[in-house]
Amino acid sequence: MTSKITMCEFNHHPHMLPLVSGYLQAYSQKDPEVESETEFELFTRTANTSADNIIEELVSRQSDVYAISCYIWNMGLIRKLLDPIIERVPHARIILGGPQVQGRAETYIRPEQNRIFIANGEGEVIFYEFIKEVIAGGKNFRNCPGLNFWDMKLLTTTPSPPLIKDLDDIPSPFLTGIFDDMPFVNVAYETNRGCPYTCSFCYFSRGGEYRKLRKFSQERVSKEMDWLTSRDLMYIFMADANWGVFKQDIVYSQELANYAKKRGSPTFVSFSAAKNRPNAVLEIAQIFKDAGITNSQPVSFQSLNPEVLKLISRINIKADKIDELQTLFSEQHIDSYVEMIWPLPGETLESFKQGLEVICNKGLGTITCYPTIMLPNTALWDQEEEFGFVTLEPEDALNDSKIVIQTNWVTEAEYEEGVRYYFATHILFNLGTLRCLSNYLHHDCNIPMNKLFTDFADYMKAHQENDLAFWIEDFIIEKGGFVDNGSLGMCAHRILHEERDKFQPFLYQFVSEQPWWSDKKAQMLFEVDILNTPYLYSTLPVRGNDCFENHLKYITVIDNKSGRCVAEIPSKYKKFIPQYVYSESEVNDCLNASCYEILYITNQIPYMPSWSKEQVGNYGQGRIQSNRSLMPRWEPLANAQSEQQATDDEMFVEEVF
């Protein structure tokens, strides 16, 4: 009688290929006995699927083994599944694996749950030995390596096996037919395992033998990429810890690009960039861009404070590379985003603000700031007392994590102020709502961006009658400020689409109350920002006749159609457009223009009202991380100045001087 094995994965994204399950099945079925004595089934759902529905589906299968991949984002769901499955499938065993559960049996399983096991370590060998014991009758799991389980109410731990030296010993689930009938459009894919760095907050950097990089063969990877891109694939996440660390990664990127040109697949690619290979990563980003693949190059700083980097054992991109990177990005029109974490040990509120300001001034692209999350099996997990961490569990029922809200360097009130400050930066800089004006104030008026963002953060806190300001404050106070892609993307959706006509008057109210508002140049650049604010979707929001663009004082909008408009700038101040809207490499194209066609729609997709909140948030953040391609394009036109505009110009000049 064959043993029925259900491989379960619960992901953020729908239609995600279950890579881990495929590896485990492929490695186990290398053994002819296992292949003949087992029946495998792949079961994937999104993590926000109803637990009751999943329970009914899994129980109906009456499987002998349920293997479940456990991560920070799905452990809340998985906890709800365990008791019902054990109670309603009395012959079943459950094996849990993944970074969230390793070494934490006492947290996740009770002494009476003696049919639940935890895999400690790399999964393939552990799972294979476990399945062999199940086939043999399951009488002595003490002989299986890498397990935690309760036996006679005593916690049993068996030694973990060594890592697989040659990754090609794992048969390819792509090339052996395991995924042939699996519908998917998104995939996480790896060409190597391991990470040489020791970042204390990261599971990849857990040290020991995991620091040694192990690679799948080039021949295998090339065949798998051929297979993947023949499946009408939309999104690939390169799951290697440092994409670009090997020269071969450039070759693989070119292979993907060639397939994308030929087959239209994949459409999107993302990756975790090699920490000290900026030129290689830039070359990879250029390859994807040339192939029409949507990609934004990540720059993982986490902090710009040297003391912080020392405390978290972080080897970072050298500070003198920032200017070089910014110049290369600008010249080649490549999107980028910077990853930061708040609050890390050693970081103060002031150093955090200064770090974000440096990034804004260098024009490195969107800033994505993550919370400090206490991940099991990381060095930081064991330093909670040393660094004075106070933690909070998010309200999200799916999430099983602890976020840091206080350290030896930051009080809880300062933590909240830092989150508020980051949201101000996200709104004014990432979303482009005050990008031109903030640059002018910083460079010409000696008003640091740090102060502008702080003032706006304080303004939102003081004006809770505004729906968006209330939403942000509620997010900080009631939900602990657990900033993730969903919350940042939802913020973008509200400001750039759903509540656009409400936000712009609120922003005007803020700037008009500032002491520098008497500066007429600042007033005109605010109008430039109004016209330069991007749209998130190709479906433009329904807007009334009183929308802000119809009430500009200095700039004349002479043609406003769906997805574009034509604007005339006071000729005396046409130099502001190339100075604050364009990159340095584009300035010469528009030095003499005072009339522009502003094109808003580039590669956005239509808004789908049927999308869930999670889908809206994920799309929004993905587009903001590709901010350069989202921003409107200002095309200089032959000057078509009207008589009224000429008169307005003269009046404007008189007012300024």
Read off the CATH number of the domain in which 50 is found. 3.40.50.2300
- Is 565 a member of any domain? yes
Question: How would you classify the pairing of strands 235-243 and 186-189?
Answer: parallel
If we measure between CA atoms, which residue out of 548, 536, 568 comes closest to residue 649?
568
Geometric angle at alpha carbon 10, from 6 and 14, rounded to 5°: 115
Q: Give pLDDT tens digits for 104-133.
A: 999 999 999 999 999 999 999 999 999 999
Which residues in the chain show pLDDT less than 50? 583-585, 587, 641-657
**Tokens matching residue 281:** 């990563």
- Is 477 a member of any domain? yes
- Is 141 a member of any domain? yes
What local confidence, expressed as pLDDT, does residue 591 receive?
57
Residues 12 and 618: beta-carbon distance below 8 Å = yes
SS3 (DSSP) at 570: coil
- Is 641 a member of any domain? no
Residues 143 and 150: beta-carbon distance below 8 Å = no
**Tokens matching residue 551:** 């009430």
- Is 271 a member of any domain? no
Q: Which residues contact 48 (CB under 8 A, 6 or more apart)?
A: 398, 612, 614
What local confidence, expressed as pLDDT, does residue 584 receive?
44
Residues 247 and 281: beta-carbon distance below 8 Å = no
What local confidence, expressed as pLDDT, does residue 77 receive?
93
**What is the C-alpha to C-alpha distance for residues 521 and 509, in angstroms, rounded to an integer?**
17
Residues 117 and 95: beta-carbon distance below 8 Å = yes
**What is the C-alpha to C-alpha distance for residues 162 and 269, in angstroms, rounded to an integer?**
32
What local confidence, expressed as pLDDT, does residue 543 receive?
65
**What is the C-alpha to C-alpha distance for residues 221 and 241, in angstroms, rounded to an integer?**
16
Same domain, 158 and 305: no
Please say which residue of 165, 182, 215 terminates a domain.
165
What local confidence, expressed as pLDDT, does residue 655 receive?
42
How many domains in the chain?
Answer: 2
Q: Give pLDDT tens digits for 266-286.
A: 988 989 888 778 788 889 989
CB-hemisphere CA count at 13 Å for 287?
21
Please say which residue of 165, 193, 210 terminates a domain.
165
What local confidence, expressed as pLDDT, does residue 639 receive?
55
DSSP state of 13: S
- Is 509 a member of any domain? yes
Range of the domain at 540: 296-634
Residues 376 and 369: beta-carbon distance below 8 Å = no
SS3 (DSSP) at 648: helix
Q: What's the pTM value of the predicted model, to 2 decimals?
A: 0.88
- What's CA 10's distance to the chain center, in Å? 18
Q: Where are the alpha helices (DSSP H) in 320-409?
A: 321-332, 349-362
- Is 505 a member of any domain? yes
Strand partners, 294: 268
Which residue bears the tokens 């993590």? 47
Please say which residue of 165, 194, 218 terminates a domain.
165
Geometric angle at alpha carbon 606, from 601 and 608, rounded to 5°: 155
**What is the C-alpha to C-alpha distance for residues 280 and 273, in angstroms, rounded to an integer?**
9
CB-hemisphere CA count at 13 Å for 282?
17
Which residue bears the tokens 């995924």? 179
Residues 403 and 480: beta-carbon distance below 8 Å = yes
Same domain, 159 and 300: no
- Is 379 a member of any domain? yes
Same domain, 161 and 310: no
What local confidence, expressed as pLDDT, does residue 323 receive?
58
**Tokens matching residue 327:** 């110049």
H-helix or E-strand containing 148? strand 147-151
**Tokens matching residue 635:** 């095309």
